[in-house]
Amino acid sequence: MVQRPRPSLYISVDIEADGPIPGPYSMLSVGAAVAGRQDADDYTPADPEAATFYRELRPVANDFVPEALAVSGLDRDRLRIEGADPRSAMREFTAWVRQVSDDAQPVMCGYPASYDWTFLYWYLIRFTGGSPFGHSGCLDMKTLYATKARVPLRAVAKRRMPRELLSSRRHTHHARDDAIEQAELFSNLMAWEGPAAG
């Protein structure tokens, strides 16, 4: 008898940071939204606003890149006082992921996943000692699109995607908003069969 694989629960994650890499620079906010669930039979999209997570974090480093900080509009001085302790925030995030995942294996998805995953994984390992996604439970939406569209990865940009794949929501650089927007994009990509032939 062939054992059915555990379902996957895809969680769209977006982070805002004040530099290119974690450690020397800080993750200032993290947002997440449940995108959908995939089992052996099908993918079922979720309402991306139904299950979300958001925290603003206290900076862990003194250095920052002004241009990176300007993207999010977050105030480092305010976050030094009001931002959540990174250890507490990552514990809360882990508990949330486990709660929404239930019997499924959680998979982080992002656009692009590489930047957000780098910060998220570093923070999870640094402040909790583990990751609810394991060491490789992430899926990059740019790669997913490139594979389905049969185009080179470096040619992928949202402005070149078919309009029906894109979310109607604005990309605001608020981590929760953008996680919700990306969750819609992910569900659209999962349903998309690729460009029509001919």
How many degrees, rounded to 5, is the angle at CA 134 between CA 130 and CA 136? 130
Report phi then psi at 110, rounded to 5.
-150, 165
pLDDT for res 41: 84
Q: What separation in angstroms does the CA of 53 have from each of 15, 50, 126, 159, 190?
A: 11, 10, 20, 27, 22
Question: Rg of the Cα trace of the chain?
Answer: 17
CB-based contacts of 70: which residues, under 8 Å, 6+ apart?
A: none
pLDDT for res 189: 96
Q: How far apart are CA 66 and CA 191, in angstroms?
A: 39
pLDDT for res 181: 96
pLDDT for res 64: 96
Helices 86-101 and 113-128, interaxial angle, to 10°? 110
pLDDT for res 195: 87
Question: Which residue out of 135, 171, 173, 174 is catalytically annotated?
Answer: 173
18-72 pLDDT tens trace = 999 999 999 999 999 999 999 988 999 999 999 999 999 999 999 999 999 999 8
pTM: 0.94
Q: Which regions of the chain are under pLDDT 50?
A: 198
pLDDT for res 40: 83
Start-to-end C-alpha separation, the chain: 42
pLDDT for res 2: 67
pLDDT for res 106: 98
Tokens of 27: 């993750």
Q: How far apart are CA 148 and CA 183, in angstroms?
A: 17
Q: Positive or negative, the Cα torsion across 60, 66, 67, 70?
A: positive
174 catalytic residue (yes or no)? no
